[in-house]
Each structure stands twice: as structure tokens, then as C-alpha cells.
Chains A and B, each alone.
Chain A
């Protein structure tokens, strides 16, 4: 109890430096946890997002580009494949489901993707199927109808029965408006997948959009493939990637995405390093703030020692004070974490449609705070040692 009272009083006496130091530590803890959670959750989430498919078939090129284009609706398509190629893989005995996709247009920056209504009938993740908000329905093949992903609908303010003109290209250009008019017939319920950011129309609509090249009117950008048995993917990988030279078969989707994270692993390392450095600076600030105030504290320490306080009591009080500042910083750090992660998750969702869960438990939320408190206490050892060595008689003024 005595220790806590001494610590409390000291913190109050040095309120400004306590608050500033705790805030710097809070920022460090918040940053450290955020970097870790974004890194790990992004990796886990992005490598799990597959839309319920095992592979993507597309034009010869990068598997990663193919997956980013067909699954995440990012990047441009590496090229088109023929409708007959789609028919071939659809009829393949190992294939349970093959869904064609066509891309190339947008509406105010949100991508239009042409597909078959069949796409909405299968589960996009175990036990979850696409649903349309009440009052809406799925589009019918061959009609100029659109079903809008929940995020895109909210951002664009689109609702059932609204009409819009698509724009050519994947990047919004006001001068590139198509003459075709599409009617929104349904809004998809949120799926927390990239599907939420897309405006879905019949594939024939996108293929035959006014102004598109009639020669490629039957081409598809990619085919989403669900296999009857995942092992068949290796056989098809052999068939398309090694024996063939016209198409790319991206399989398995998760492994392709994992390659992306491998490629940007250096960036993760830099972020980690920055977070560690910020943490180190914050810990250093605890040491500096207490150490620098030691001279003014020495008289108080001498008085307490003269009253009978043991050296170990003084030492413990300083270490406890450092640990308390660190603990305050950690508590505030959770608030910083919540703010940083809410922003980061929102940006990631807006850019990719992938939803992170900032408030799901993660080991870093345990080890980072505990580690910082332990390091904070450790930082207190240096000034504590100075306090421990305080020469009582020297600081009990005056001497007569």
C-alpha cells in the first residue's frame, strides 16, 4: 500500500511528463498491435478468400494477376479467353462448376462484372450463399439488369429500380459513358468479400456493350472453377500450365495469394521494425523522464530513507512507477489501437472488399501489452538504481 501511495503521489507530482510519456507509449502499443493484426489478419483473410472456388482459368500470364482480377476484382485482366475454352473446362469431368466472368467497364469507379446467374447459386464460403435484399431479385440473362454488391450500392446510393449508364474501362472517366442503360433489380446482402464492391450484370451485357469490339463479343476474362475433388487441380495445372501455352490455370487460389504476401514480406518487416523502434523510443522516454527528474526527487527519497524507508522500498517504488506509466500507456494504447484499426479496416474494406476483424482476439494483444509493461519496468531499473544509491545525509539539507 505504501509503495502504491508513493508511486501515485510521484505520478501526480510529475503529471505532465507522466501523461506525455504514457501517450507516447500508448501510440507505440497501438501501432505495434495494429501492424501485427493487420499483417496477420490480412494474410489469413486474403489467402482464405476464394469465393468458394478452387481455381481460376484465364489468359496466359500471371497467376496472381488472374486471381486478383477474378476473385478480388482488383487489377486489370491479363487478357481474354475464348468462349469455347470456357465450354471445354465446364464440360471437364473433374469440374463441378465453371463460372465465366467478363470485365472491362465500371460505374463511377465501381467495377461491372458480367457473369451467369448461376454464380449466385453456390456457396461463396461453407454454409453461406448469396442473398438479395428484400424487394429485389437476381438479374436475368440477356437483360440489361444489374445486381449490386452491398458496399457498392451503399457508396453509390443505388437502390432497386435505379438506372445507370456504365462507363468504359476499369477507371472512371466521365467522357467514356456507354449508351446502354442498366436497371438495378437487386442489392446483394453483405458477404464481407470482394463481391460486395462489384456491380454484377449478365455476361452477354458486358460482352455486347455498345462500343465494345464485336470481335471479342464472346470472349471471357476468366473462368472461376470449382473442382469435384481438389486433387484434380494438379492434373489440370499440368494440362493448362505445363502442356498448354495459351491459358493459365491459377490453382490453388490461397497459395497464389500467399505468394503475394511472400513478395511483400519485406514491407511487413519494415513495418514491424518501425513499430519496434517506436516502442523502443517510448520505453526510452520512460527511462529519460524518470531519470531526468531524479535530482529533484532525491530530497524526497532522502527524507523517506531518514524516516526508515529501505533502499529496496525506494528501488521498488521507482520500478513500480515506470511499470505504472507503461500500464497507463498500454490502457491508452488499446484506444489508439481501436482508432488505428477502425481506420485501417475501413480502408482495406473500401479498397478490396475484404473485412478484417480488428476486435477479434489475437495473441499480440496479450504479448505486446505485457511486453511493454515488462520493458517499462525494466526501463525503471536505471533511475531506480540511481534512487537506490541516494546518499541520505547529503540530500537532507541543511547540514549544521
Chain B
């Protein structure tokens, strides 16, 4: 059984003028344990919505998302929260670090919603991403690249089976972007986590052995030429 199995997943939004816009329409998609896949997609192709549906942050209009044998839509909201905390790590484009919390506290807080705070492991993760001297720094005291590494450590803190990345290198310069991607892929590999990462940055996608275009998976996504039009 694949780690992630998606069947007939659909999500539409109603625009202010009353029109319904289909954003996600994925007939089928799967990801095996420890598999790393890069998804290419332009802005407006429904990447974030797709990942949010996988993470259980959004509820689909229809279809199902099954992670580690559990169907998201069959779970209560609190059970979905629990599953997200214990099984999924999420790296956001803007990192979404809590500004009032230090690096270490950001990682520990993520842990506390899952299996529980493990200070030693949190510290080891931050060391792994090269932030051993920044444990008690606040996000605003860090460079963009350092903030991104905190986000990586936080995403891996609960030893997730699946790591989702939503343009995680979107705010980094090319060098930092390459280094960061290498770190994410290595860290996922070391922790036995599958990785599903969406990006429109070709050098980033080139680092993956397996890359899929989002419009091939999501029938509602714009074709590249439509997106650029």
C-alpha cells in the first residue's frame, strides 16, 4: 500500500462574482514511503490547495486522501489534526515560523502538538541544519536561509512519514536554494520520510530523480502556456 493515495480529489472555490472555479481535480496520485517527487507548477496552478488538501488543512469537495492507511475524510477534525502532527511535516514558502518563539521553541512547539517535545532531538535537528549556535535566536534575528533551515528542522521534528514542501526555496537566492534543497532531501532520506515538493524553479526540480508536472496530475491546473498568457 502506498504511503499517500489520492483518488478523485476535487476542490472548487466560489469567486466574489459568484462563479465557481475548480482548483483541484486529481483523478489519482500516489507516493510510496521514502519516495521523493518534485512537482512542477506555475503560480495559480493550485499547488498550495493541493498540498493543503493532502495535509488535511482543507476539506475536499469530493474524493479521498489516504495517508498511512488512514482516509482523511473519514477522520474527525481533531483526528486529522493529530494525523497531521504525527505523520506530516510541512515546509512553507514563507517558512511560517512563529516570531515570538526562538528557533528551538519553534521546533519544540511543533513536537508538542504531536508525540511530545523531545528537546534533545530538536537540538540535534537544529545542529543537523547548522543552527547549533542559533538555538535561542528569534526568527527575525536570522537570515532568510537560516529561517528556512529552522522550518526544515521543524518539519522533520515529529519524524513524519511524509514531508510536503510548498515552494520552500521560493525566497532564497540560487546558491542558498541549491544548498537548502540538498539539505531537505538528505534530511528526509536520513529520517525515512517521503517528500512531495512543488516548485516552479527548474534548478530545484532538476535535483529530483522524479519530477511530475502538476497539470498532468491536476486536471484543473493551468497549462504552462495558459499560465503565462
CB pair A400 B93 closer than 8 Å: yes
Residues of A near B82 (CB, < 8 A) are 308, 310
The A interface is mostly helix, strand or loop, or mixed, namely helix
Contact B57 A307 (CB under 8 A): no
Binds B, one of A8-16, A22-30, A259-267: A8-16
The CA of A304 and the CA of B81, in the complex, are separated in Å by: 10
Residue numbers in A under 8 Å from B149 (CB-CB): none
Which residue of A has the minimal Cβ distance to B157?
A: A307
Contact of A306 among B55, B99, B158 (CB under 8 A): B55
Q: Which of chain A's residues have a CB closer than 8 A to the CB of B47?
A: 400
Taking a contact as CB atoms under 8 Å apart, the answer to whether B98 and A304 are in contact is yes
Query: What residue in chain A is nearest B48 (Cβ atoms)?
Result: A399
Assess whether A2 is in contact with B166, with CB atoms less than 8 Å apart: no
- In the complex, B85 has a CB within 8 A of chain A: yes
Q: A241 at the A/B interface (Cβ < 8 Å)?
A: no
**Is the CB–CB distance between B78 and A308 below 8 Å?**
no
- Provide the residues of chain A in CB contact with B96, threshold 8 Å: 299, 302-303, 306, 396
0/1 interface trace, chain B 102-138, chain A, CB 8 Å (1 if under): 0001000110111001000000000000000000000
List residues of chain B with CB within 8 A of the CB of A392: 52, 57-58
* A398 at interface by CB-CB < 8 Å: yes
A122 near B: Cβ within 8 Å?
no
Assembly CA distance A400 to B50 (angstroms): 10
Does chain B have a CB within 8 A of A393? yes
User: In B78-104, which residues have CB < 8 Å from any A CB?
Assistant: 78, 81-82, 84-86, 90, 92-94, 96-101
Question: Are B57 and A305 in contact (CB-based, < 8 A)?
Answer: yes
Q: Does A309 contact B (CB under 8 A)?
A: yes
CB distance from A341 to the nearest CB of B (A): 38
Residues of B within 8 A of A308 (CB): 81-82, 84-86, 110, 113-114, 158
Q: Mark A185-218, 1 if CB is under 8 A from B, else 0.
A: 0000000000000000000000000000000000
Complex Cα distance, B114 from A310, in Å, reads 10
Number of A residues whose C-beta is below 8 Å from B?
29
Known contacts A306-B57, A306-B96, A400-B47: A9-B101 contact under CB 8 Å: yes
Answer yes or no: A311 CB below 8 A from chain B CBs.
Answer: yes
List chain A residues, Cβ under 8 A from B86. Answer: 308
CB-CB under 8 A from B74, the residues of chain A are none
Report whether B100 and A300 are in contact in the complex, using a CB–CB cutoff of 8 Å.
yes
Task: Please indicate the chain B residues that have their CB under 8 angstroms from the CB of A313 in the complex.
Answer: 113
B49 lies within 8 A of chain A by Cβ? yes
B167 in the interface, Cβ–Cβ < 8 Å?
Answer: yes
Contact with A along B30-62 (1 / 0, CB 8 A): 000000000001011101110010010110000
B205 CB to closest chain A CB, in angstroms? 15
By a beta-carbon cutoff of 8 Å, the part of chain B in contact with chain A is 41, 43-45, 47-49, 52, 55, 57-58, 77-78, 81-82, 84-86, 90, 92-94, 96-101, 105, 109-110, 112-114, 117, 154, 158, 166-167, 170, 198
Given A2-B113, A312-B78: 12 more A-B contacts, CB < 8 Å? A5-B109, A9-B105, A304-B98, A305-B81, A307-B85, A308-B114, A309-B113, A392-B52, A392-B58, A396-B92, A398-B93, A400-B41
> 4 tightest A-B contacts by CB?
A308-B85, A308-B113, A2-B112, A13-B100
